[in-house]
Structure 1
């Protein structure tokens, strides 16, 4: 018997639709209904499972239960009259499939898709007319990094695959993108995006892990003697030392026995023994019986000794290559950040800390975690072990670290690792990833641990803004002002359609940082002022609050004859 999907009683014009019963779906529904005062329909597989009960209690939210996101389900919630659909389930393939279905039923609908693979997401975006692809982990990572560095609010942001940060021009920063502000005015109000860029004392620069930043802390000085000693200790492993000692004993005992039994001096006997060890023994009938026995014993022993030496040497070289970064942890280190968990969030936290020049030690229980290859590629030390055990945290030198960030997907693991870190050092900065608000509040009150909220809590505002067609992807505080970074697509027939790129800059209000050309997945940071903009191009713009409105008005496409723009 086919499943009968109940329809809503009457179409709700302008309704927003969310698909999923994940923590992000709950936070997003809460954000849209309470902050934006929007009517929301949430499609869940079952009202009584996962976050279905919490979603059902939200105001202005209607819950629709459906096992599959098929055409019948979307028609039941009147997707043809909806303004936007957010697909935030944990199945990325399912999100893409559902987005294609929704677009077929409503070609003008705005789609917001959750995908952790941002590279694939940039390509998927081009398949849809009006689509935003966001990664909740990528959105939340800067807040975890800022909390780990004590940098609140964050003075850095991740944009189009790059980490941008605010720096003072006097610091002689490299890779400057643009002048940000002049904060030296007598009235105390910063002049944002000044026309004369040389007058700005604050600049926006790219952090690439090679140039030091103000957030990196004291520079780490290299110790050539210590490094040589560490390398020598690695090469002369216990097994190799045992083989070398056995060889020396064999040479000494053989030389002494041959010298005594044959009557020659020790030097001559040593000469014969070294040849025997090298496999160059020749039969000598003039030797005495004891000397012949000694020579045979030394020769046969050398046959087993040579492969043992080779195996020990190969083992030392292999361990040196595989465990190079981890070997640094044998010596005391300090001023680093310990990141527990190399999942979707952890890999982005590690990447941004590395970009900012902050030394990182990773702790992960699963060698196959998604962030392990990235950490190894960056040359970061990885401690494979259970972070809830004090021995694991000691290996990562938690006692001398700058802070501990626990971002596994399990609240209990994060809490236990944080408490163990505090037990090892009571004043260490601990940043926890916890979803449960009540648990977070009680942990902060009872254990005095500053708690970073859940990833879904941090990411929900960005997803909500995307559904409301607000393309703000980052903020940068400057004194009492806030600069916004937005992703602005060029609409067909808009004011900037066919105009040179330089005309998108508004002195004192907006400046283009990067250009995404239509059909290309990556952004171009080397801008050509004379490039003529075409529909489908995307601008990453740094702007003031008023500048965002002005640049948006210049990028919105002209309405087609007979069509009316819905009020949003």
Structure 2
């Protein structure tokens, strides 16, 4: 077991072993894309592994084209469309592997078919959001890996938002290792220390320090008879949800009270109910032979028009009966109007993204793109209450969120009123996952202004900027999807046996078999 553990390495410091099928004989790798994932992947292939790379992108001047162009030893092919001619210019016939990274599942499949016509032996690595389609694609292409960067990164963002360690497992022959806090693990099950997350002088976690006793994040041996770190994390979340339930109950009572007295219609209902109650009490007091229950029964029958006039009754009882009948007549249209108004308000609230019920202890997810969609789906699977925010109704994740009965607030999350609609003041965490770093940062600062102890996780591409943001504003955590996912894409292109990836802050440890 010691040998695989020694091969757990920090990818930015140690080159991985050269895989079979790639050597220095002129074989090259082709990457299609110009987004952050393409940028990170090309950097990894060139600077860490040292392989020749050709990048097909629409323009060297757009998106991450300028940064990719500055990477030494990268050949660029500019083309708006992926076609056989484009692949021929990229010398696909001599390529060992091709990564198709555009965010268009069908377009990537079409490009894979064209590339395979020119080079049937090329290894394909296809980025896909729809993994159901991806499973079918594997049948079409025998030498193919289908990966979803959103699915790879989502657990890391979720764990950071819940204040837990991401569920990372490394499976070795005869045993399974997992990442956990040292406090959650029996000392006899600790295999090695991974990181001191309290950080060095720079504030960053210290990975693989010489003195393993400093590490509060460890690699442990799974024991079927004892709860693992992820199991204990799930138990903590369950306890947190139970305590949040009492908060939601209090909010619900307050909301119902506020709704009951809001507006003229609510006041009319309260007045009529008050008069009906007064009629019951008056009848009980006037007629000494009637119990309070009988008085309520008689008044209710009178109110709904079920009683006949009785001229032999005393004047006081006649007045009470008449008042009850008038109240009953008034109650029918008032109650009908109240029901109609409630339905209209509910429809308007749903359209505006107003929560239908109080929320507490929930996670607010900003951005319903690929990553946000995966995050809300996995949070719902974990049983964690979620509220989603996106600026547009047409976002990819809006429909899946509503299918899961997750409240969706439509609006600009950098505005405090939008965050208030998402009950940010009672949330446990805000995950800012849009593709716009500035919107993520602004929303995070607004959230912190509304709730000082809010746990905030930012999606940011630039590592240096992320570090400055965390120090300057006290942001809990920041992560990059491309940084988390690029190692898996790189390993797939190089046909390496990657047995596990462990994310610590914005750094990644890789385990090779």
Give the C-alpha shift of residue 171 in structure 1.
8.5
Query: Out of 345, 348, 351, which is 2:374 matched to?
Result: 348
Normalised by the length of structure 1, the TM-score is 0.61
How big is the shift at 1:245?
2.7
- Matched with 2:66 is 53
Per-residue CA shift, 1:480-506, capped at 9, x if unaligned?
A: xx998xxxxxxxxxxxxxxxxxxxxxx
Per the alignment, residue 128 of structure 1 pairs with 141
SS of residue in 2 equivalent to 1:137: helix
Of 427, 430, 443, 2:456 maps to: 430
Unmatched segments (≥5 aa) in structure 1: 1-11, 173-178, 259-263, 485-543, 549-568
Measured after TM superposition, the shift of residue 465 of structure 1 is 1.3
Q: 1:346 aligns to what SS in structure 2?
A: helix
Q: Does the 8 A contact of 1:216 with 1:356 survive in 2?
A: no
Deviation at 1:51, TM superposition (A): 2.3
Contact residue 127 and residue 147 of structure 2 kept, 8 A? yes
Residues 368 and 312 (structure 1 numbering): CA distance in 2 closer, same or farther, change over 3 Å?
A: farther
Contact 2:180/2:220 (<8 A) preserved:
no
Q: Distance in 2 between matches of 1:426 and 1:158?
A: 37
Pairwise CA RMSD of aligned residues? 5.3
Q: What residue in structure 1 maps to residue 130 of structure 2?
A: 117
- Structure 2 match to 1:15: 28
Q: Could you tell me how far 1:39 is from its partner in structure 2?
A: 0.9
Q: Counterpart in 2 of 1:156? A: 168
Q: Which runs of 5+ in 2 are unaligned?
A: 1-24, 172-176, 194-211, 214-218
Q: CA deviation at 1:435?
A: 2.3
What is the rounded CA distance, in whole Å, between the counterparts of 2:29 and 2:159 in structure 1? 32
Paired with 1:222 and 1:46, the residues of 2 have a C-alpha distance of 53
The 1-side partners of 2:468 and 2:191 are apart by 42
Distance 1:400 1:235 in 2: 18
CA distance in 2, matches of 1:419, 1:226: 25
| Residues 1:242 and 2:267 aligned together | yes
Name 1:216's counterpart in structure 2.
237
8 Å Cα contact 1:215-1:356 kept in structure 2: no
Q: CA deviation at 1:100?
A: 0.8
Aligned residues: 447
Indicate the residue corresponding to 2:8 in structure 1.
none
Give the deviation of 1:381 after TM superposition.
Answer: 5.9
Deviation at 1:416, TM superposition (A): 0.5
Q: Tell me, yes or no, if structure 1 residue 464 matches structure 2 residue 490.
A: yes
- C-alpha separation in 2, matches of 1:477 and 1:23: 18
Q: Determine the structure 2 residue equivalent to 1:388.
A: 414
Matched, 1:475 2:475: no
CA distances 1:322-366 after superposition (whole Å, capped 9, x unpaired): 89985233xxx45x5443333321233334445556565544444
Cα distance change, pair 99–279 in 1 and its aligned pair in 2 (3 A): same
Q: Which has the higher helix share?
A: 2
SS class of match (1:221): helix
Equivalence for 1:9: none
Structure with larger RCO (C-alpha < 8 A, sep 6+): 2
CA distance in 2, matches of 1:427, 1:140: 25
Question: Structure 2 vs 1, CA of residues 132 and 244 (structure 1 numbering), >3 Å: closer, same or farther?
Answer: same
The SS at the match of 1:328 is: coil
Q: CA deviation at 1:274?
A: 5.4
- Pairwise CA distance, 1:30: 1.6
In structure 1, what is the equivalent of residue 432 of structure 2? 406
Distance across 2 between alignment mates of 1:244 and 1:378: 35
Change (3 A) 1:389 1:306: same
Separation in 1, partners of 2:405, 2:389? 14
Superposition pairs of residues 136-175 of structure 1, within 5 angstroms:
136-151=149-164, 154-156=166-168
Go from structure 1 to structure 2 and tell me whether the alpha carbon gap of 1:450 and 1:312 turns closer, same or farther (over 3 Å shift). closer
Q: In structure 2, what is the Cα distance between the partners aligned to 1:307 and 1:71?
A: 71
Correspondent of 2:101 among 88, 97, 104: 88
- Aligned counterparts of 1:406 and 1:269: Cα–Cα separation in 2: 59
Residue 457 of structure 1 aligns to a residue whose secondary structure is: helix
CA distance 1:427–1:270, change in 2 (3 Å): closer
